[in-house]
């Protein structure tokens, strides 16, 4: 049976930051951890974080990812020196990891990773996935994992990020640190299940950008013009703008079916652009076909809060009388202070954590600000951007 312990800290020294988290999470029992999950801002040395985690929990498997801030039981922080951890005690899990994942091979790579996990734990019923946030086809990741475990296995997690520059993100597994890697944790505790949901609160506006040339997850042309030029022109940005300029204001959206829209609470799902190319092409986070119509969006502050409250209320209802043992959480970095400081992030976090409190305390909680989020949509595994995504692990003895 798996047990979860979390902590977060804002400490500039990477070694001290991990030590503080371990002490806060489990005290003198931290060496008993079998699994360590680390989320850390880009100001930290991932090599040092991993090394110190291994010293403190020498028998644990260790995985990690970079982010643009963390959310823990202690609240939210978005600095260059944030660290959050989830320590897990128990053996009902398996880890798979691959390197060199890109848009062209995402499905193949994730299939291989899932097979690695299934060989060790055939009875996995949920998968926590963390992948590079730059130039991968996240729908391919889902297809690859589902080809091994089937669509009934819930995939949740996120893609790693930097400080909103779209230049490089980090992933780590055991002793090594990578830039284009992915890892997954297959949980196989039969007493646990996970409830997932995501919401964004943005509204599509204007005429669509029509994809007139594409290759996999790369958009080469919009409206028969170089994609980046057409996209930045619509945003009122110069052609030499960076992804750091476009990410805060440039959420793209795809229309959903009526059934998916009713389940999601929005007629559109959002997409982020995290890399561009010298030829004017740009990477989309999922496979995109010629003829696709993509709309620019504007954020609706009122809807952001209303959609969050609706999502949390639904998750709490689904929990019923089951014990909440841990919450994993992925948030788009553009919903925090990096989007003009307009959202009261502390209020958002309070409204998502408060309803899950038990005995007056927030359960073990590991949250990060990343580039994208995996959560179910209308009963299917899906990839989202610009959302708050909450993953509630509950225990049932039935």
Give how far Cα 70 sits from Cα of 57, 292, 336, 346, Å: 22, 34, 10, 12
Tell me what the pLDDT averaged over the chain comes to.
Answer: 93
Give how far Cα 168 sits from Cα of 45, 127, 240, 324, Å: 14, 24, 19, 35
How far, rounded to the nearest angstrom, does the alpha carbon of residue 72 sit from its chain's CA centroid? 15
Check: CB of residue 347 under 8 Å from CB of residue 75. Answer: no
pLDDT bin (cut points 50, 70, 90) of residue 348 is confident
| Percent of the chain scoring above 90 in pLDDT | 81
> Pick from 44, 49, 131, 47: which is nearest to 85 by CA?
49
pLDDT score of 335? 59
pLDDT score of 360? 87
Check: CB of residue 282 under 8 Å from CB of residue 218. Answer: yes
pLDDT score of 351? 85
Q: What is the pLDDT of residues 52-75, one digit of tens each?
A: 999 999 999 999 999 988 999 998
Check: CB of residue 64 under 8 Å from CB of residue 40. Answer: yes
pLDDT bin (cut points 50, 70, 90) of residue 284 is very high
pLDDT score of 134? 87
Q: At what angle do helices 106-120 and 138-149 cross, to 10 degrees?
A: 30
Q: What is the pLDDT of residues 288-340, one digit of tens each?
A: 999 999 999 998 888 888 999 999 999 999 999 899 999 999 998 665 444 44
Higher pLDDT, 142 or 344: 142
The alpha carbon dihedral of 269, 272, 277, 278 has a sign of positive
Put the strands of the sheet holding 171-173 in their side by side order.
3-10, 82-89, 35-41, 61-67, 171-173, 176-178
Length of the chain: 398
H/E segment holding residue 232: helix 227-235
Give how far Cα 135 sits from Cα of 50, 126, 138, 166, 194, Å: 25, 25, 9, 10, 28
Higher pLDDT, 229 or 336: 229
The span from the CA of 150 to the CA of 143, in Å, is 9
What pTM did the predictor assign?
A: 0.95
> 3-state class of 131 per DSSP?
strand
The span from the CA of 170 to the CA of 234, in Å, is 31
- DSSP for 49-66 reads HHHHHHHHSTT-EEEEEE
Flag whether pLDDT at 244 surpasses 90: no
Flag whether pLDDT at 84 surpasses 70: yes
Q: List all residues 6 or more positions away from 376 whose beta carbon is below 8 Å from its beta carbon.
A: 154, 196, 197, 382
- Residue that the structure tokens 């997850």 belong to: 217
Give how far Cα 104 sits from Cα of 19, 138, 177, 231, Å: 39, 11, 22, 23
């Amino acid at each position: 049976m798996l047990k979860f312990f979390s902590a977060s800290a804002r400490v500039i020294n990477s070694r001290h930051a991990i030590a503080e988290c371990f002490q806060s999470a489990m005290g003198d029992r931290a060496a008993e951890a079998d699994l360590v999950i680390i989320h850390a801002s880009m100001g930290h040395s991932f090599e040092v974080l991993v090394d110190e985690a291994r010293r403190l929990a020498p028998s644990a498997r260790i995985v990690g990812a970079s982010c643009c801030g963390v959310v823990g039981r202690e609240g939210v922080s978005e600095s260059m020196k944030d660290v959050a951890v989830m320590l897990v005690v128990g053996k009902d899990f398996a880890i798979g990891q691959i390197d060199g994942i890109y848009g062209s091979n995402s499905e193949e790579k994730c299939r291989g990773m899932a097979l690695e996990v299934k060989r060790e734990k055939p009875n996995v019923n949920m998968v926590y996935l963390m992948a590079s946030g730059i130039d991968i086809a996240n729908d391919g990741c889902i297809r690859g994992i589902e080809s091994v475990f089937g669509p009934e296995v819930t995939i949740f997690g996120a893609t790693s990020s930097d400080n909103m520059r779209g230049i490089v993100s980090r992933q780590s597994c055991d002793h090594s640190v990578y830039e284009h890697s992915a890892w997954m944790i297959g949980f196989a505790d039969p007493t646990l299940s996970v409830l997932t949901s995501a919401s964004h609160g943005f509204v599509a506006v204007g005429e669509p950008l029509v994809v007139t040339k594409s290759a996999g997850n790369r958009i080469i042309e919009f409206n028969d013009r170089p994609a980046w030029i057409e996209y930045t022109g619509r945003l009122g940005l110069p052609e030499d703008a960076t992804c750091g300029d476009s990410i805060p204001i440039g959420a793209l959206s795809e229309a959903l079916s009526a059934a998916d829209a009713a389940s999601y609470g929005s007629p559109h799902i959002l997409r982020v652009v995290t890399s561009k190319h010298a030829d004017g092409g740009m990477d989309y986070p999922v496979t995109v076909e010629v003829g696709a119509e993509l709309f620019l969006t504007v954020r609706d502050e009122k809807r952001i809060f209303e959609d969050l409250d609706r999502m949390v209320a639904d998750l709490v209802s689904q929990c019923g009388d089951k014990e909440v043992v841990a919450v994993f959480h992925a948030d788009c970095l553009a919903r925090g202070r990096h989007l003009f400081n307009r959202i009261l992030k502390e209020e958002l976090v309070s409204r998502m954590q408060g309803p899950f409190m038990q005995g007056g305390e927030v359960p073990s909680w590991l949250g990060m600000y990343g580039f994208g989020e995996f959560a179910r949509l209308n009963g299917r595994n899906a990839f989202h951007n610009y959302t708050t995504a909450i993953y509630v692990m509950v225990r049932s003895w039935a």
